[in-house]
Structures are given as structure tokens and as C-alpha cells.
Chains A and B, each alone.
Chain A
Amino acid sequence: RKEVEQDPGPFNVPEGATVAFNCTYSNSASQSFFWYRQDCRKEPKLLMSVYSSGNEDGRFTAQLNRASQYISLLIRDSKLSDSATYLCVVLWPPSGTYKYIFGTGTRLKVLA
């Protein structure tokens, strides 16, 4: 089993739709979780951290389910500009030093 798994997509959704992505992680001791956004041929950029109680930033909502070891990202009222790859990132518990493990990313395409 991969350490961090995501459905690669692509998810093709119309403008205004609500879309959700899940990400599962294998190590129950993982401590911190993030969603990054990566546009085509660009570098990843932090979208939001994921907190245990869930958190919202505008149209974006992130949630963590420790019992089932998954995190989710919900995008409401999708915009054309939301088209990108969304990377799930997990801070790996230390066996020496901490390490950030990235999922393969989920591609989203918002259609006009």
C-alpha cells in the first residue's frame, strides 16, 4: 500500500459544481496534513493546512478523519480558475527526521 494515496482523476466538473477529493494515508502516527495546489508546469503551492476539527477557507473546506486515516477537500461553487492538480501532503512521523510525503495528486478540470 502506498503511503499516501489519491484518485488521480481527472475530475471534470461544470462551473458552479461542488467537488470533493479524498486522500488516504497509511501511517496512523502521521501528525500534520496539507493540501497543495499545482498548476500545469508550475510549482506546488500551499492551499491549506488540515486541522483535526476541520477548517474552511472561502469555498474550500478541509477535513481530517483520523480513525479512517483519510483527509478530504471540498470545493464549492467551482471556478474555471480552480482547474489544477490537488496534492495531498502528510507529515511523516520521525524516524530520525520528519518527512513530507506527497500523494500523486488529483487532477481537476472545471468546464465552462
Chain B
Amino acid sequence: GAGVSQSPRYKVAKRGQDVALRCDPISGHVSLFWYQQALGQGPEFLTYFQNEAQLDKSGLPSDRFFAERPEGSVSTLKIQRTQQEDSAVYLCASSLNRLPIKTQYFGPGTRLLVL
């Protein structure tokens, strides 16, 4: 009965380091989204998975960003060679059904700070 969980909750990285952010969606949820939320802004879409298939990655800001969901459950967002502008909260959301859907359930987010 747990909700969406994300780890780590906080991450401090030095510029140039690689980071991996994990999302555990609600069990059985088909759809999984990643969003980036900068301070004072709304969440910005990064990518969408339907089961293990990445159907939309149009929001990934550069080729340093990579996401996967190999078994259709847990997902990882990887950022290579982090830059200061990558500092943000990274939110994962899941939904029972495929798009279009009514309700997304968000995880608590990972706060990434790149120094």
C-alpha cells in the first residue's frame, strides 16, 4: 500500500560527477513520469514510460540525461557530468493506466544540488 518512493531524498554532487536517481512506483502502475522542478517553477516534463517502454523522452534537456525502466517497475534517471544548472528537485510520478490518465501519484522527489 506504499506510495511512490524515491531515493536518495537529497544528493549533493560536485560539478562533473555522475548521479543516479531511483524511483519505485506504486506496484502495478503502468505509467511512470519523470519531472524536473526548479525553484519557484512548476514541474517540467522529462520523460514517460509505459511499462518498460520509454515512449517519450522529448523533455530530457540534453544527452547527459538518461532514463530507464528495464523491468517495467523501478526506474532510474541518470545524469552524467552534472552541471550547476541541473540543480533542481527531480520528481517521479506513476499512474495505474496508460495515457491519457486522470491522476498521477508523485513521489517526494530527490533534491539535487550541484556545486
Contacts and interface: CB of A to CB of B under 8 A. Distances in A.
A102 interface: yes
Contacts of B43: 44, 87, 102
B104 interface: yes
B44 A98 contact: no
Interface string B89-108: 00100000001101110111
A105 B109 CA distance: 17
Interface residues of B, number: 23
Q: How large is the interface on A (under 10, 10 to 19, 20 to 34, 35 or more residues)?
A: 20 to 34
Interface in A52-99: 87, 91, 96-99
A98 B56 CA distance: 9
Nearest to B55: A97
Contact of B33 (A32, A42, A100, A104): A100
Nearest to B56: A97
Main DSSP-derived SS at the B contact region: loop
Main DSSP-derived SS at the A contact region: strand
A100 B106 CA distance: 13
A96 B56 contact: yes
Interface in A25-50: 31-32, 34, 42-46, 49
A43 B106 contact: yes
Contact of A49 (B35, B91, B102): B102
